[in-house]
Amino acid sequence: MSVNGTVVSELGTKIIPGVDEVSLDGEMVELPDKKVVVMLNKPAGFLSAMSDDHGGRCVSELIPTDAYPGLFPVGRLDKDTTGLLLFTNDGELGNALIHPRHHVAKTYLAWVKGSVGLRALQTLQEGVHLEDGITQPAHARVLEQANDRTLLELTIYEGHNRQVRRMGAAVNHPVEQLERIQIGPVELGDLQAGKWRLLDEEEHRALLAATGLSRDRMDS
């Protein structure tokens, strides 16, 4: 991290909001008292946690926690699932994004075993019976079929534990590879695996609108 062009390695360095310019890895960052949302393209093998008592690798290793104290993951992806994971220092926004009453859509690309037919696709769309209840209607479509595998695009509106993997298993098409590509209006795009970026103002405001929160709160 650098402050006003000078590399800083000393803990406890003071920064004056609105005066000092802070950079991380050569990129200008906003000061931590401002509400921010960070996008990470999570690689496989990382836990969606800020720390782990058993020494597992955590997503906190990949995001700018020094520049933005208070960041926490919005929901989670299991260890083997890759793709879009959001972090924020805005507790109200984080809670709103995962609360089921807001029905914020989450879209995945899933390679599953077997050739997915019309019946299985219809079940995914209408609702799958899981141990903790039936899932809400989802959007599901086949993108590709090859070598006894099917690539599905699946959009869900809730967040049960390992939901997409359990849905696949329930229709006899276990998930082999899973990537999340979109949360609400925010798309992963071409962000490289293991890299992060701040949401721009338009993306941030769209995310607030998707949860019904005031778009003015990002400036407070």
Contact 77, 131 (CB under 8 A): no
CA distance linking residue 110 with residue 121, whole number of Å: 13
Q: Pick from 182, 184, 188: which is nearest to 211 by CA?
A: 184
CB 168 within 8 Å of CB 108:
no
Interior angle at CA 218, CA 215 and CA 220, nearest 5: 115
CB 157 within 8 A of CB 105: yes
The letter for the amino acid at 3 is V
Our CA angle for 153, 44, 100, nearest 5°, is 55
Structure tokens that stand for 125 in this block: 């769309």
Q: Are 120 and 114 in contact (CB under 8 A)?
A: no
Phi and psi at residue 98, in whole multiples of 5°?
Answer: -100, -5
Report yes or no: 42 and 83 within 8 Å, Cβ to Cβ. Answer: yes
**What are the catalytic residues?**
78
Please tell me the distance from the alpha carbon of residue 179 to that of residue 191, in angstroms, as a whole number. Answer: 13
